Amino acid sequence: MRAKAEGHLESNLSPALKRIAGELHTEYDRIFQEEEAAFGLLYPGASNVQDIYLTRLLFLYSENRILRDIQKEVTRLLKTPSGNKEKRLSHLVRIADRREQLRHVSENLDRPGAVWDHL
């Protein structure tokens, strides 16, 4: 997948920027391998540590996006005239509910047999 990204996204870069991008790819790969190994220590018998690790990253990314949505919606709510705040507030509550559902699933990922036995 990285080769595809390099071929399409980085093909127009100057040689100096291509070298920097290559160094960043190498650094990212090293960090990923270190984190994956550390995460594997949490699940010593698991044969699917990479799946577990990537799923955890997806949850963290999703939570970060939801938090940004909440921040944007609160900003909009504060700028909304007092007569029109009910719809914005309702939307904010729905976003907060999504975050709570995500948190519940994320917390249950570490329970033995919760998710990983089915992967």
Tens-digit pLDDT profile for residues 59-105: 778 888 888 888 888 888 888 888 888 888 888 888 888 888 887 77
Residue 111 · residue 42 · CB < 8 Å: no
> What is the identity of the amino acid at 31?
I
Entry field: residues in the chain: 119
- Using 50, 70 and 90 to split pLDDT, how confident is the model at 109? low
Global pTM reads 0.51
- Asked if 49 and 39 touch (Cβ cutoff 8 Å), the reply is yes
Domain ranges of the chain: 1-42, 45-119
Which single residue is written with the structure tokens 């799923």? 55
Q: What is the mean pLDDT of residues 35-42?
A: 78
Q: What is the pLDDT of residue 9?
A: 58
- Helix (H), strand (E) at residue 15: helix 15-42
